[in-house]
Amino acid sequence: MIPEKRVIRRIQSGGCAIHCQDCSISQLCIPFTLNAHELDQLDNIIERKKPIQKGQTLFKAGDELKSLYAIRSGTIKSYTITEQGDEQITGFHLAGDLVGFDAIGGLKHPSFAQALETSMVCEIPFETLDDLSGKMPNLRQQIMRLMSGEIKGDQDMILLLSKKNAEERLAAFVYNLSRRFAERGFSPREFRLTMTRGDIGNYLGLTVETISRLLGRFQKSEILSVKGKYITIENVDALSVLAGTPRINVTVNA
């Protein structure tokens, strides 16, 4: 939905004065179902932050829930620390994703959120958002839709780790990234991995050596081409079959 044109308010936010109605990924985020008046109300409570540099954290495990974070650009990884002191990655979040939903139940963040590259986020104060959603059914429904998507993603991850072998896990990971990039208007065939192979292995329950070996196998089978962090999908059908995922045709915006 494209709202009617209107005067854009300027917010002093470190030079990051883009608003919901002008954001290129709003169709993936909270504003998607809101009308012009509702967009204005939401826009008024959002704080635009300066860029978050690679390695910086949005929040840490144990921090009080104060805000949710909508990613405007970049990549954020979420992770927990096990009882043995090891990092366990639980997700990679791209532009249009909201981070922090898992803190709503206990009002404290159970995980860490860290930038994998220079990223831009919109900070949405939770109490204000909660109050506003009680007055705006469209906003409440959109938040529920986004939370439902998170639950579905968690279920898919459980299935991935419990039912698929190493080759299928990596194929599903790459195919899912391809689909997510396409939804954001980027090329689904050529993209850069912002996460390290160690991060990917951690997330999929595989070693770095296994990830490297499988990428080499995919190249030999002419499914992928790999140049450093850059991936080119040469055979989408073969990748989707290997991933055990029905191919979905996604139109990429020019």
Among residues 140, 157, 174, the one where a domain terminates is: 157
Domain total for the chain? 2
**Parent domain of 195:** 165-243
Q: Are residues 149 and 176 in the same domain?
A: no
pLDDT in tens, 157-171: 888 888 899 999 999
What digits encode the pLDDT tens for the residues 190-207? 999 999 999 999 999 999
Q: Name the pTM for this structure.
A: 0.83
Last residue of a domain, one of 125, 157, 189: 157
Are 106 and 202 members of one domain? no
Residue 74 lies in a domain: yes
CA distances from 150 to 78, 90, 102, 103, 183 (A): 13, 12, 9, 13, 16
> Is 2 within a domain?
no
Quote the DSSP letter at residue 7: P
Integer Cα distance of 100 and 127 in angstroms: 13
Residue 46 included in any domain: yes
In terms of domains, do 87 and 29 share one?
Answer: yes
Q: What is the CATH number of the domain that holds 191?
A: 1.10.10.10
**pLDDT attached to residue 94:** 94
Report the mean per-residue pLDDT for the chain: 85
Mean pLDDT across the stretch 40-59?
85
Q: Are residues 34 and 101 in the same domain?
A: yes
DSSP H helical ranges for the chain: 36-45, 126-135, 137-163, 166-183, 197-204, 208-220, 236-243
Confidence of residue 66 (pLDDT cuts 50, 70, 90): very high
The enclosing domain of 92 has a CATH number of: 2.60.120.10
Among 111, 135, 157, the domain-final residue is: 157
CA proximity to 124, closest of 106, 98, 155: 98
Tell me the two tokens of residue 219.
Answer: 């190249």
Within a domain: residue 224? yes
Whether 57 and 92 share a structural domain: yes
What integer is the mean pLDDT of 21-29? 56
